[in-house]
Amino acid sequence: METFLHDLPQIWLSNLVVDLRRYIIFAVAVFAILWVVLSAPLRRRKLREDSPPPRQMGLEFLMSLRSIAIFSTIGVSMSLLSRLGAYPLSDQAHTWGPVWFGASLALMILGHDAYYYWVHRVMHQPRFFRTFHRRHHKSHNPSPFTAYSFDIREAFMMASFVLLWPLIVPTPWGVVGLFMLHQIFRNTMLHSGYELMPARADGRPMLDWLTTTTHHDLHHAQAGYNYGLYFTWWDRWMKTEHPEYQARYAQAAWRPFARRTGIVPAE
């Protein structure tokens, strides 16, 4: 333990570098590909005519750096708890083979979706919104850099799931790393401003059980709807899906089957 405490600054810095690299790779890549390289061919997929001003995106990036520092602090806490023997389930799960590895990844994603939905709804309560969630909604027109633009309290709430989940569910440590990659990818795409999910023949999303960029963009436009992160289930079960979601999605979505079924493409 004495060695761990001596190495604590280096461990924190290592976590910071990993989290920062992951954020930059995904946020910058999505911005460069969608907003620069493919902006012309994807112009019909852009959800809003106007783009966020550079000042907003710069501030989002700075707020994201603060969130990443908080995530790194949670990571150090997990390392300390692990050394104290608080994660015996994760140590056991490491030996359970590839089937459990895949199943535990799916469980972690499902668990996080439920956690996010309910924590997100609570943060929208008037008594909590200003101190937990206001910073994120200052990005009324989001960009790929909005993904981690959080208030300090929200950043701790978002990171706490990763700390708590392995305490109650046997989760190999490799799964946690893959989960974080999935989380930042989906989070960045939801804030990307472009609808890339193709539509089915009936005009609904091809994978209607997954949230789309339109789904989350509507939440930034009208905050009383669409609290879900990865899946549409909770919003539909709890009647919090935006009533115009399907229509708004159809306006921006690519409809590859429209011509053969007689549906007029929303171009």
217 lies in some domain: no
260 lies in some domain: no
Smallest CA-to-CA distance from 87 within 166, 160, 175 is with 166
202 lies in some domain: no
Q: Which amino acid belongs to residue 102?
A: G
What integer pLDDT is reported at residue 45 of this predicted model?
Answer: 95
What's the number of domains the chain is made of? 1
pTM: 0.91
What integer pLDDT is reported at residue 255 of this predicted model?
Answer: 85
256 lies in some domain: no
What integer pLDDT is reported at residue 61 of this predicted model?
Answer: 95
Domain around 75? 2-194
224 lies in some domain: no
What integer pLDDT is reported at residue 4 of this predicted model?
Answer: 62
42-57 burial by CB neighbour count: b if 16+ within 10 A, else e? Answer: beebbbeeeebeeebb
218 lies in some domain: no
pLDDT in tens, the chain (267 residues): 666 666 778 878 888 998 999 999 999 999 999 999 999 999 999 999 999 999 999 999 999 999 999 999 999 999 889 888 999 999 899 899 999 999 999 999 999 999 999 999 999 999 999 999 999 999 999 999 999 999 999 999 999 999 999 999 999 999 999 999 999 999 999 999 999 999 998 889 999 999 999 999 999 999 899 999 999 999 999 999 999 999 999 999 998 876 654 444 444
CB contact at 8 A, 235 and 241: yes
Alpha carbons within 13 A on the beta-carbon side of 91: 9
What integer pLDDT is reported at residue 256 of this predicted model?
Answer: 83
Smallest CA-to-CA distance from 234 within 136, 118, 154 is with 118
228 lies in some domain: no
243 lies in some domain: no
